[in-house]
Chains A and B, each alone.
Chain A
Amino acid sequence: MNVKITASPHVRSADSTIKIMWSVVWSLVPVMAASIYFFGPSAILVLLASSAGCLLTERLFGSRPGSLADGSAIITGLLLGLTLPPGFPLWMAFLGGGFGMAFGKIIYGGLGQNIFNPALVGRAFLQAAFPVAITTWPAKTQNWWALQGDNFALPFMSPVVDTATSATPLGNMKFGDDPVITPVLDLFLGTTGGSLGETSALLILIGGLYLAWRGHLNWHIPLSIFVSTFVVSGLFFALGISQFPPLFMLFSGGMMLGAFYMATDMVTSPITNKGCWLFGIGIGFLVVVIRIWGGLPEGVMYAILLMNALVPFINRATQPRLFGTSSKKKKEDGS
């Protein structure tokens, strides 16, 4: 007879970290499909390049054997790809994936140890290294098969942009000679210009709601980001300080993707629900401030990275109240 002895509890929930990771990947399928529909083969190429950069780096430098199978590296690759413009040179996307993985995650000790969202670290690197390429959005072509830019630019050569460029809704608002507010419905459905995953708020919303329903995403985070963005931008709009209407703020740029997929990264977000509210409110506030006064049209990335840095402090400040103590007494104990 072969009986094993384990410590209690002897039964476990069916949930697993690997299942969580892969359900995030599956929930991104509609968003990726939409970006391929809108941007053609360029979208596929950019997503492949950024994912390849992440997977290869994890394979080469990841410390845990079999860490590729846990799905976390592919998520980083896909999310990074979705923040890039469709015509982005592939070698840059590949490099960004590798940098994000190496310096956003592996250097801290791998899965679960990092402070900053690795996909955003990769994007921040690309933004600093290739500011022109990452803000070049070619005008949409009629031919679906046509590339959206110089995807195959050789490393360290300036990409050739032979098509006319077009502005994104946010860029249009901020830097356009004649600010035009893109209709919210267009933003919602995704028929506007922008990065791969920035366009269809609807599909991101569906993917995010699916994850929240499965319990694989803490819904407090996106909700608090939306509430905060809406309230803060509404306030500035009402006071006449800003020209961005609150709904435009919500559905434009990387807001949806950031709120549902970047900010909710379990590793780099607070562990308590109370902390998640503080985190989300902070992100919303920073996004609005950066969009109105910053030198960039978009602020979601830096807002999330800045709040990532504060997570350890938020966690410390929002420890749960121990059963059988009043919240006041807890503070006395803690001092």
Chain B
Amino acid sequence: MKGLLSFKHGVHPPENKDITAGIASRRFPFPGEIVLPLSQHIGVPAKALVKPGDRVERGDVIAEAAGFVSSAVHASAAGTVKAIELWPHPNGSMVPSIRITVDPNSTQMRRPRIVPRWEDVKAEDLSKEIGRAGIVGLGGAAFPSHVKLTPPKDQPIDILLMNGCECEPYLTSDHRTMLEQPEKVYEGIRIALKALGITRAVIGIEANKPDAIEIMQKLAPDDLDITIQPLQVKYPQGAEKMLIKAVTGREVPSGALPSAIGALVQNVATAANVATAFETGQPLIERIITITGRGIRKPGNWVIPFGTKLRDVIEHCGGLTDDASEIVFGGPMMGQGQANLDVPILKATGGILVLSKDECKQQDIMPCIRCGKCLEACPVFLNPQLMGALAKAERYEELESEAHLKDCMLCGCCSFVCPSNIPLSQLFAMSRTQIRRLSTS
């Protein structure tokens, strides 16, 4: 474990990936209704192209990108548009969403969608085609992929980093993607390399996935400059900045994007879906999602159409156990707690985690004893102890100018290690919201 590459600091939460790592993904049945929010990505919400009563087939575009940093939305099942209205979103707010009553008699075949062979597309037009397929980063942030693959002209990319770390505990969807669709991952890498006009790629995989490392090594094409790089198992190894640091030794400058040092990071599942879009014409309408935790009766990996409601997923996975305590979209370190069973699965939902009482014991908050464990955990070398004190005192100006709140990734390492259970990352997230509110009012 010592010789593997990594970054400084970070934490080692219990991995708990064995619950689902060995379970092959299966196709999830189509639910009775799907709900597709117009905002499933970072950027401007998409603009609806359908109206209530319209018949849509699976794969049809139902909302278009409303700007450069925006993403199209496609119907993930055939049926009839029931309404376009505000609907609970996994982020806790109400968001305009397209509700589609799924046609139970449909064969769910997609309409033929004409897509050029990627080999025939000019490099600068590839990202346009990727945007047309509604592809966003599937690692969690859901940044539109076509924007990422069009870096600023003055910041040339020289290395593509493929993110196969999956450092969030419990989640195994990227792991299953590499095991089940390695050819697609490589096809996606070829497309991304062509779009960027470079030849070098490194696939970073945490050492707890030896089977994925092996299969990616076995299938590595000879004509490309690709390295498979096993990495130390440490959270947040899969954060962009940490992955770049581990593999290249470069630090993304504070406040800048990875392109500033010539690196671009893409998730392996994103690459696989780019390949699918060119191979079969299928836009981004479904993905492998891990349903896990000790609070769900039948954990597993499923290919689930976007828009499927949490309620349907839980029901199909055997329901909640008696001691189920928390439902989270995403992993336990950065995922969002869910309050409503009607929230739909989104493009960026890599996992649904149902924690049992034993897995998420709540402990009393004690006073800070200045032990310094948070400083030793912070992967971007902040001083969470000072930041926490400033946030509590609502000294927002100092929090930004002296304590560098903007550089915090909200990765949760400080909260995880704090022996006094001070909700540090929550304080930082709230401070950011408060600062935004103060600056706009």
Q: Are B372 and A8 in contact (CB under 8 A)?
A: no
B297 to chain A, nearest CB (A): 14
Binds B, one of A16-24, A224-232, A280-288: A16-24
- Find chain B residues with CB under 8 A from A18 CB: 366
Of the residues A6, A8, A9, contact of B362 by C-beta under 8 Å? A6
A-side contacts of B368, CB under 8 Å: 112
Bound-state CA distance A86–B243 (Å) is 58
CB of A15 closer than 8 Å to a CB of B = yes
Check A9 against B333 for contact (C-beta < 8 Å).
yes
Taking a contact as CB atoms under 8 Å apart, the answer to whether A111 and B366 are in contact is yes
* Contact A267:B369 (CB < 8 A) given known A6-B337, A8-B412, A19-B419: yes
A273 to B370: give the CA distance in the assembly, Å. Answer: 12
Bound complex: CA A269 to CA B369 (Å): 10
Q: Which of chain B's residues 4-56 have a Cβ closer than 8 Å to chain A? A: 11, 13-14
A324 CB contact (under 8 Å) in B252, B417, B419: B252
B329 to chain A, nearest CB (A): 10
Is A1 close to B, CB under 8 A? yes
Q: Is the CB of A10 within 8 A of B326?
A: yes
B253 and A20 form a contact (CB under 8 A): no
- Counting residue pairs across A and B whose Cβ atoms lie within 8 Å, the total is 160
Report Cα–Cα, A5/B367, bound state, in Å.
23
Query: In angstroms, how far is the closest chain B Cβ from the Cβ of A171?
Result: 35
How far apart are B74's CB and chain A's nearest CB, in angstroms?
29
CA of A6 to CA of B421, assembled, Å? 13
The answer to whether the Cβ of B381 comes within 8 Å of any Cβ in the partner chain is yes
Contact A16 B251 (CB under 8 A): no
| A8–B332 touching, CB < 8 Å | yes
In whole angstroms, what is the CA distance A3 to B359 when docked? 13
Binary interface encoding of chain B residues 394-433 relative to chain A, with 1 for a CB under 8 A from any of its CBs, else 0: 0000000010100100101001111111010110010000
**Contact between A5 and B366 (Cβ–Cβ < 8 Å)?**
no
B94 at the interface (CB under 8 A from A): no
B379: Cβ under 8 A from any A Cβ = yes
Contacts of B415 in A (CB 8 A): 8-9, 12
State A16–B376 Cα separation when bound (angstroms): 16
- Cα(A96)–Cα(B413), bound, Å: 40
Judge whether B259 is part of the interface by a CB distance below 8 angstroms.
no
Interface residue A271 (Cβ < 8 Å from any Cβ of B): yes
Contacts of A7 in B (CB 8 A): 337, 423, 425-426, 429
A9 in contact with B412 given A320-B382, A325-B253 (CB within 8 Å): yes
Q: By the criterion CB–CB under 8 Å, are A266 and B372 in contact?
A: yes
With A266-B372, A272-B375 as known contacts, state yes or no: A70 contacts B366, CB within 8 Å.
Answer: yes
Q: Do residues A11 and B335 form an inter-chain contact, with CB atoms below 8 A?
A: no
**With A17-B366, A113-B367: A323-B251 Cβ-Cβ less than 8 Å:** yes
Q: Which of A3, A13, A64, A322 contacts B326 (CB 8 A)?
A: A3
Known: A16-B421, A17-B369, A266-B371. A11 touches B332 (CB 8 A): yes
Q: Do residues B336 and A8 form an inter-chain contact, with CB atoms below 8 A?
A: yes
Which residues of chain B from 247 to 265 have any CB-CB distance to chain A below 8 Å in the complex? 251-256
B416 near A13 with CB under 8 A, answer yes
Chain A residue at minimal CB-CB distance from B421: A12
Q: Within residues 57 to 71 of chain A, which ones have a CB less than 8 A from any CB in chain B? A: 64, 70
Count A-side interface residues using an 8 Å CB cutoff: 41
- Say yes or no: is B391 at the interface (Cβ < 8 Å to chain A): no
A322 contacts B381, CB within 8 Å?
yes
On chain A, the residues within 8 Å of B379 by CB distance are 323
Contact with A along B303-324 (1 / 0, CB 8 A): 0000000000000000010001
Q: Cβ of B369 and Cβ of A10 under 8 Å apart?
A: no
The distance from the CB of A135 to the nearest CB of chain B, in whole angstroms, is 33
A180 to B376, CA, bound (A): 45
CB atoms of B407 and A322 under 8 A apart: yes
With both chains docked as a complex, state the minimum distance between the C-beta of A230 and any C-beta of chain B, in angstroms.
Answer: 25
Contact pick for B370, options A6, A16, A266, A320, CB 8 Å: A266
The CA of A140 and the CA of B373, in the complex, are separated in Å by 44
Least CB separation from A329: chain B residue: B254
Assess whether A12 is in contact with B363, with CB atoms less than 8 Å apart.
yes
Known interface pairs A1-B320, A271-B385, A322-B404; A10-B366 also in contact (CB < 8 Å) = no
B192 at interface by CB-CB < 8 Å: no
Residues of chain B contacted by A165 (CB below 8 angstroms): none
Residues of B within 8 A of A266 (CB): 369-372
Q: Are B419 and A17 in contact (CB under 8 A)?
A: yes
Q: A7-B423, A13-B417, A323-B407 are in contact. Are A20 and B371 (CB under 8 A)?
A: yes
Among A11, A218, A320, A324, residue most surrounded by chain B Cβ atoms (within 10 Å): A11
Of B328, B373, B419, which one neighbours A10 at CB under 8 angstroms? B328
A9 touches B327 (CB 8 A): no
Q: Point out the residue from B245, B324, B335, B382 that lies within 8 Å of A3, measured CB to CB.
A: B324
Selected from B255, B256, B327, B360, the residue in CB contact (under 8 A) with A11 is B360
- The interface residues of chain A lying within 8 Å CB-to-CB of B436 are none
B18 to chain A, nearest CB (A): 16
Contact A8 B383 (CB under 8 A): no
Residues from 159 to 207 in B contacting A, C-beta threshold 8 Å = 169
Q: Nearest residue in A to B363 (C-beta to C-beta)?
A: A16
CA distance A52 to B362 in the complex (A): 32
Interface flags for B340-379 (1: CB within 8 Å of A; 0: not) read 0000000000000101000111110011111111011011
Residues of A within 8 A of B (CB): 1, 3-13, 15-20, 64, 70, 110-113, 215, 218, 266-267, 269-273, 319-325, 334
Q: Other than A3-B325, A6-B326, give 9 A-B pairs with Cβ distance below 8 A.
A: A3-B339, A8-B330, A9-B13, A10-B360, A12-B360, A19-B419, A64-B367, A112-B369, A325-B254
6 A-B pairs (CB sep. < 8 Å): A6-B360, A9-B416, A16-B420, A17-B371, A112-B368, A322-B254
Sorted from nearest, which 3 A-B pairs have the closest CB atoms?
A9-B412, A112-B367, A323-B380
